[in-house]
Structure 1
Amino acid sequence: MRSSNPVFARSEGFNGRGSSSGMSYPGYDAPPAPAYGQGAGYDAPQQTQAPVSTGPMTIDSVVQKTGITLGTTIVIAAATWILTGPITAESIPTLYALSMFGALVGFGLAMVNSFKKVVSPGLVLAYAAVEGVFVGAFSKAMEANFGGGLVMGAVVGTFAAVAGTLAAYKFFNIQVSDKFRKWTVAALFGFVAVSLFDFVLSFFGASFGFNGFGTIGFIASLIGLGLGVLMLILDFDFVERGIAARLPERESWRAAFGLTVTIIWIYIEMLRILAILRGND
């Protein structure tokens, strides 16, 4: 069953068509399908450009790569926060400019990573670094405008959302159907399209508040948070498919990228919700 998620759609294994189905992954000769639980790995890469790990992707490798990717985002976000200096009336426009730069460049890198057939660890880390600039600048601007404590609240809320979704996925054995994938990804694309449309309209003074901090913005962020949780469920499902297909270890970077995109999405929506609630007090 083919994935609708653009992050994972380029990988055969994430669509249930890895080596276990007898198909070759680009750059690898797939061995005969082993019995489940046997330790058969991938043959040595046939490409000569760069050495690639020959072991299969595992949950440990996914967790490790996700930790590296998220760690890069956190470190760059902290550096951005510190290097932008004290919060003043003059520094807030700079923070918003930095956050816009990070968001736009990060969006471009996300598109490249999503549709790149062979995952590039360097591009994944470049995305994480640029998103760190966005997260750090935007978070600092939110605290400057709406008061302290927002970032810590958003971090705790994000951790709770991710942990709670993972627990629900495992303990309730959530099954991801084809219809669930299609509707979730369609809703995601629709949400992004409306957000970009409102962003463009803002340059002409015609924004309808989808990205703002009013009632419409609050509703939009609640919808965005819900979509983030649904995307996490898709991410977990896709990772399990990739591990079952015995993809090469390098594909852990693709899984890490997908999880990082979703976790940052949830954090930003959580931060916006808290800011709007603080502003309405």
Structure 2
Amino acid sequence: MKTSNPVLARLGQAAERERGAGYGTAVGYPQPGYGQQHPTAGYPGAAGYPPAGHSDAPAYPTAPPATRAMSIDDVVVKTVTLLAILAASAAAAWVLVPDTLLGPAWIGAAVVGLVIGLVISFSRMANPALVIAYAVVEGVFVGMISKFFTSVMGYEGIVLQAVVATFGVFFTMAALYRARVVRSSPKFRRIMIAVMGGLFAAMLINFVLALFGVNTGLRDGGPVAIIFSLVCIVVASLSFILNFHEIEEGVRMGLPERYSWTAAFGILVGLIWLYIEILRLLSYFQGDD
């Protein structure tokens, strides 16, 4: 199997070795060794085995595969599960965390979520527990920022609008990818990775400068902030193409089922980022109401 993604290539090779480990010795039959005659010896044919289909040929049941390959259905189920966990965590945080603790809970969840996300991203093994923990922590983050815009800023209905827009964009990108209107080429992936890295670096620098009272204009609701959010929304939308391509390649290469958690994690990250940027953009146009 060939793929342009070296990580997927290594995972695919590991998956083949795992599956191969499940097809070894025939279950329940002794293997010939020193001083032991094979149970089929004496039949005509090569190496003492009866010809295929021979009525006296013994049945040799084989062991089942050691791992099951992931499918698109696995990724869908895991994604829906993570979204349900995130929604439950967000709702609990909205109800339980008072307005006076919105800031600390918001920043704390953002930092913890970033650390867990980096661990998952740079880990070579799928870890369902970490992915679920990420969904819980990010649920707190999403709940706090949503409550801020609704309860503190007074933007009624903005959360529902952002949720509808987020899933509308996601399903649109899925339809475009399925129709092959937008495809993931090696050049496209290189450009996307570079652009996303630049955007995250800009957001991190802006956050650090904001702590010292420096306003860069990226999040103040002005023209620069609107343009920056629009760019982030476009890039976040296109990031789903990378996710869909990796899922398609992972299924084609027969990656183990547990890697569907990693694929679902990638989609969850994109959905959270897209939701936050849409929420911010909508807030810019309600600031004067």
With normalisation by structure 2, the TM-score equals: 0.79
Match of 1:28 in 2: 18
Match of 2:71 in 1: 58
* Count of matched residue pairs: 246
Q: In structure 2, how many angstroms separate the alpha carbons of the residues matched to 1:213 and 1:109? A: 30
Q: Quickly say closer, same or farther: Cα 1:69–1:42, change in 2 above 3 A.
A: farther
Q: 1:76 deviation in Å?
A: 0.2
Match of 1:71 in 2: 84
Q: Quickly say closer, same or farther: Cα 1:27–1:124, change in 2 above 3 A.
A: farther
Match of 1:225 in 2: 233
Q: Quickly say closer, same or farther: Cα 1:244–1:275, change in 2 above 3 A.
A: same
Bigger radius of gyration among the two = 2
**Equivalent of 1:179, from 173, 184, 187?**
187
Q: 1:214 deviation in Å?
A: 2.8
Q: Are positions 1:204 and 2:194 aligned together?
A: no
- Equivalent residue of 1:56, what SS? coil
Match of 1:34 in 2: none
Q: In structure 2, how many angstroms separate the alpha carbons of the residues matched to 1:26 and 1:262? A: 30
Match of 1:245 in 2: 253
Q: In structure 1, how many angstroms separate the alpha carbons of the residues matched to 2:270 and 2:184? A: 17
CA contact (8 A) 2:218 2:225 kept: yes
Tell me the amino acid that sits aligned with residue 89 of structure 2: I
Q: In structure 2, how many angstroms separate the alpha carbons of the residues matched to 1:17 and 1:116? A: 13
Q: In structure 1, how many angstroms separate the alpha carbons of the residues matched to 2:114 and 2:220? A: 19
Q: Quickly say closer, same or farther: Cα 1:161–1:42, change in 2 above 3 A.
A: farther
Q: Quickly say closer, same or farther: Cα 1:217–1:240, change in 2 above 3 A.
A: same
Match of 2:32 in 1: none
- Equivalent residue of 1:25, what SS? helix
- Equivalent residue of 1:125, what SS? helix
- Aligned-CA RMSD value: 2.2
CA contact (8 A) 2:15 2:254 kept: no
Q: Quickly say closer, same or farther: Cα 1:273–1:216, change in 2 above 3 A.
A: same
CA contact (8 A) 1:76 1:129 kept: yes
Measured against aligned partners, the alpha-carbon deviations of 1:29-85 in whole angstroms (never above 9, x if no partner) come to 548xxxxxxxxx9842xxxxxxxxx21100110001111111111100011111135
CA contact (8 A) 2:126 2:262 kept: yes
Q: Are positions 1:138 and 2:151 aligned together?
A: no
Q: In structure 1, how many angstroms separate the alpha carbons of the residues matched to 2:284 and 2:158? A: 10
Q: Are positions 1:105 and 2:112 aligned together?
A: yes
Q: Identity of paired residues, percent?
A: 38
Q: In structure 2, how many angstroms separate the alpha carbons of the residues matched to 1:261 and 1:26? A: 29
CA contact (8 A) 2:71 2:251 kept: yes
Match of 2:43 in 1: none
Unaligned runs of 5+ in 1: 4-8, 32-40, 45-53, 86-90
Tell me the amino acid that sits aligned with residue 14 of structure 2: S
Q: Quickly say closer, same or farther: Cα 1:102–1:2, change in 2 above 3 A.
A: farther
Q: 1:97 deviation in Å?
A: 2.0
CA contact (8 A) 1:221 1:270 kept: yes
CA contact (8 A) 1:201 1:207 kept: yes
Match of 2:171 in 1: 163
Q: 1:280 deviation in Å?
A: 4.3
Tell me the amino acid that sits aligned with residue 207 of structure 2: F
Tell me the amino acid that sits aligned with residue 91 of structure 2: A
